[in-house]
Structure 1
Amino acid sequence: MKQLTLKESFTVSGKGLHTGLMIDATFCPAPDNHGYKFQRVDLEGEPTIDALAEYVTTTVRGTVISHDNVTVGTIEHALSALYASGIDNCLIKINAPEMPILDGSAKFYVEAIERVGLEEQQADKDFYIVKRKIEVCDPNTGSSIVVLPDDELSLDVKVNFDSPVLANQYATLDHIEDFGSEIASSRTFVFVREIEPLLKGGLIKGGDLDNAIVIYDSPMSQETIDHIADLIGVPHKHVSEFGYINDGPLMAENEPARHKLMDVLGDLALIGRPLKGKVIATRPGHTINTTFAKQIRRELKRQDVQAPVYNPTKEPLMDVNQIRALLPHRFPFLLVDKIIEKGSQYIVGLKNVTVNEPFFQGHFPQEPVMPGVLLVEAMAQTGGLLVLGTVDEPERYSTYFMKIDNVKFRQKVVPGDTVIFHVAFMTELRRGMAVMKGYAFVGEKVVAECEFMAQIIKNK
């Protein structure tokens, strides 16, 4: 799958929930591997900040990112719309320290994205694939996020509040394509009893009955309710029963739970990659959401490339006979058994290491270890197949390696190991020259890595 960006720019305008300022936010197409970035056009130099979990600084009534004195808040609704739409790269130009709240949902973002359309890019999507159970819990609040392996992203959200109006609710999203029709219109919500403390804390200066669901669930005098209405600048309203005090109906009975699902999705976008897995969130909030995203970001920083998924029962893209038709190597120097995955910018190959490998006779008889230079050679052969895939009649060409840099060996490879090679272009192919980065994995661990340059030459 290729990365996606917007076909053209669009702008949304409205109040900021916490600042009360009138704000313009322009969503712009962005190049391959750009990710999501916010640009503060109201500040000198128009600095940008990456929408990544490590920059989260505040999670009180919204997600706020800050870096190098640049701050942008209330980003979760916009990010949920981008993430659910499959957009990988977008620059958001904003003239205030937070995004506009609009009607408290992601509806207007989704509608604008659908209106301008998407554009496919050259780079391949780089998924974060969940391969084992991941769990983040907060024993103090009872909040948790559990993520399980799955073929696509899906979410289950359960909310529970100490409230006679909003107690237990749940929402599900089995297919991310349904976000626009099932989730995007769900609005943020607040309890009447929370409004005055939030205002005293310098928040929700732009809140009103048009951009949030307001829930009355704790006895108050009409005088107190009128006082709160005056604080947020809305007309007085007579309230005699517990319930939702907005004039219009809810978009769904479980609209608060659906909105919490939207928030989870928006905070997951801070991982910086589309995720494949089943997310189960219990009593979620921005704190637990971003804690989970930060954990994944730490893992990605330790290892840039995830170990490829290998299913031994799946038919390979290329078996050894197809590989032999393209590579000149033969026993005992053909070191790639099959190709299991390939994109325009990367390739994944595999070698099963057995005790019968001829090099084990001397390396070493009492402690067989696969030579590191042969791991590099295997990555080079895999990369050669990637380069040959860029030309017509590849059997008429050969690749010759000219330079190898930054070689690192991290772990021994021994008989019984299955080594998976991931090789990707670092730059565009120019004048028959390719610069590539290769990784060798055993299980989930990198055992070797290197960078190399190759030239493709037509056979005489």
Structure 2
Amino acid sequence: MLNIKQQTIQKSVALSGVGLHSGVQTNITFVPAKPNHGIKFQRIDLPGSPIIEADCDNVVDVSRGTTIEQSGARVSTIEHTLAACTGLEIDNVLIQLDGPECPIMDGSSIEFVDVLKAAGTEEQNALRDFFEVQEPLFYREAARNVEIAALPLDDYRVTVMIDYNSPVLGSQHASITDIRQFEKEIASCRTFCFLHELEMLYKNNLIRGGDLNNAIVIVDRVVQENELENIAKMLGKPKVAVKQEGILNNIELRYKNEPARHKLLDIVGDLTLAGRPLKAQILAARPGHAANVAFAKKLKKAMQESDKKGRPKYNPSLPPVMDINKVAATLPHRYPFLLIDKIIYLDNESVSGVKNVTANEYFFQGHFPGNPVMPGVLQIEAMAQIGGILVLNTVPDPENYWTYFLGIENFRFRKMVLPGDTLVIQCDLLAPIKRGIAKMTGRAYVGNTLVCEGTMTASIVRKDA
């Protein structure tokens, strides 16, 4: 079962290690972030400490790893770090680095998972913005015989098949049916390459941080002694050997299908770049970073097409951020003037809430009783009460404050609100609250239809003032 609310970490935590391809020693620090921040990287070693968003549109290189770039700053080999965040359902975190590449550690995600778990997770006052795949999405790369699909599912499951036409590696499969399996079943699975790839990678200035301790080298052919000497020189080792069939230097696999499990780890990390948690069954045959990123872009495009800009998302089957009891404990309003039923989203700058409009509302008795229409002034009042929740959320003791209307501007009523409608209302601060004065925009929707919008100004005053 997936987490419903967004999560960050409770405190900052750090690791240090070498980059697999750059060979540069790098410190990486995970920093808590506010709701809807998402996952972002920061190059603190560069002037201005530029931010690079973990977004598939920022990917600039997929040669033996995933590299993103924004505003002239780039970070490489991000997939293992992203996989750890997704595997632990961490939605919001700032990842600071003082080098160009995430450290490879042992070649898996497990050390990132361990340090993030040591930091502890913190549930946030906002619902996760899932992308629920409604229709099958397919990607195919004929030249490499790669196929990836996302199928509708009210959960997140991943299945991967690899086949490199290697007599040693063979065809392998790996899968998880619950994201909580990632930590124990997938996170510790290390990156790998074939012996014949080593020299090519080295000549292309890759694997400068490679080591037999952070990568599995699969030997799929007979190797001469002089070639092993060259490999040892490349890796800075006095000697290497094939002591166990198929694995260089007798590296013991953690799982018989560890390569397939690592490919599953990679796709979990790369699909994080789509930008939202997924509800889907992911099926991938022979995936690689290029295909993973291409599919992430396909997912992001589907997200954009399904979204209506500015409309708050409401799923009545999910628990609210604040139910009617918490709303009543925060606002001083009571019947017949408590006009909202629940809050479904709340952070320091934005709030969304719900007003269910029923035929037995008291105001329908006198407002067009033969043709019941919700009065526009009460739509504004419901919006103001939701905005009041946002303003009161900025003080530690909201029960000791009043909120008062100071003004309304540019209100437009675009469609009648009728019995049976569900009003979903969103308010956003236009600027930080100063001297107790808050100015915000408000929009109310019924389904996908905008029914009213405008700007409100309110003050927040202590009750004992």
- TM-score class, shorter-chain normalisation, is 0.7 to 0.9
Tell me whether 1:41 sits opposite 2:78 in the alignment: no
The corresponding residue for 1:146 is 150
Q: 1:145 to 1:439 in 2, by over 3 A?
A: farther
Question: CA offsets, 1:127-166, max 9 Å, x none?
Answer: 224152352402423221415342x544333333322233
Question: CA offsets, 1:275-295, max 9 Å, x none?
Answer: 141341313322233234334
Alignment of 1:407-418 (within 5 A): 418=421
Query: Which whole-Å CA distance do the structure 1 matches of 2:247 and 2:193 have between them?
Result: 10
- Alpha-carbon contact 1:63-1:73 (below 8 Å) kept: yes
The corresponding residue for 2:407 is 402
Alignment of 1:24-423 (within 5 A): 24-31=27-34, 33-115=36-118, 117-118=119-120, 120=122, 123-130=125-132, 132-133=134-135, 135-140=137-142, 141-150=145-154, 152-219=155-222, 221-239=224-242, 243-273=246-276, 275-283=277-285, 284-298=287-301, 299=303, 303=309, 307-311=313-317, 317-318=323-324, 326=333, 339=342, 341=344, 343=346, 346-351=351-356, 379-380=383-384, 383=387, 391-392=398-399, 400=405, 402-404=407-409, 418-423=421-426
- Size of the aligned set, in residue pairs, is 439
What amino acid is aligned across from residue 132 of structure 1 in structure 2? Q
Percent identity for Structure 1 against Structure 2: 35
Q: 1:56 to 1:147 in 2, by over 3 A?
A: farther
* Greater displacement, 411-420 / 261-270: 411-420
Question: CA offsets, 1:12-49, max 9 Å, x none?
Answer: 223x1111222222333445544333232333343332
Q: TM-score, normalised to structure 2's length?
A: 0.75
- Alpha-carbon contact 1:307-1:444 (below 8 Å) kept: no
1:210, distance to aligned residue in structure 2 (A): 1.2
- Alpha-carbon contact 1:123-1:344 (below 8 Å) kept: yes
Query: Which whole-Å CA distance do the structure 2 matches of 1:168 and 1:144 have between them?
Result: 17
The corresponding residue for 2:13 is 9
> RMSD value over aligned CA atoms?
4.5
Query: Which whole-Å CA distance do the structure 2 matches of 1:246 and 1:408 have between them?
Result: 73
Query: Which whole-Å CA distance do the structure 1 matches of 2:445 and 2:249 have between them?
Result: 56
Q: 1:311 to 1:28 in 2, by over 3 A?
A: closer
**The residue matched to 1:262 in structure 2 has which SS?**
helix
Q: 1:302 to 1:240 in 2, by over 3 A?
A: same
The corresponding residue for 2:23 is 20
Q: TM-score, normalised to structure 1's length?
A: 0.75
**The residue matched to 2:82 in structure 1 has which SS?**
helix
Q: 1:198 to 1:303 in 2, by over 3 A?
A: farther
Query: Which whole-Å CA distance do the structure 2 matches of 1:246 and 1:441 have between them?
Result: 64
- Alpha-carbon contact 2:56-2:274 (below 8 Å) kept: yes
What amino acid is aligned across from residue 104 of structure 2 in structure 1? I
Question: CA offsets, 1:228-285, max 9 Å, x none?
Answer: 4443444554549852334232111221222122222222333444x14134131332
Question: CA offsets, 1:294-341, max 9 Å, x none?
Answer: 345454597355522234999x9459xx9xx946778xxx987x5474
- Alpha-carbon contact 1:40-1:48 (below 8 Å) kept: yes
- Alpha-carbon contact 1:4-1:120 (below 8 Å) kept: yes
The corresponding residue for 1:453 is 457
Query: Which whole-Å CA distance do the structure 2 matches of 1:99 and 1:453 have between them?
Result: 46
1:421, distance to aligned residue in structure 2 (A): 1.0
Structure 1 residues without counterparts, runs of 5 or longer:
none
* Greater displacement, 128-137 / 231-240: 231-240
1:80, distance to aligned residue in structure 2 (A): 1.9
What amino acid is aligned across from residue 349 of structure 1 in structure 2? V
Question: CA offsets, 1:404-431, max 9 Å, x none?
Answer: 46x799x977989955514245377777
* Greater displacement, 246-255 / 369-378: 369-378
- Alpha-carbon contact 2:146-2:291 (below 8 Å) kept: no
What amino acid is aligned across from residue 8 of structure 1 in structure 2? S
Q: 1:391 to 1:187 in 2, by over 3 A?
A: same
1:66, distance to aligned residue in structure 2 (A): 0.7
**The residue matched to 1:277 in structure 2 has which SS?**
strand
Query: Which whole-Å CA distance do the structure 1 matches of 2:40 and 2:312 have between them?
Result: 23
What amino acid is aligned across from residue 9 of structure 2 in structure 1? T
**The residue matched to 2:174 in structure 1 has which SS?**
strand
- Alpha-carbon contact 1:307-1:443 (below 8 Å) kept: no
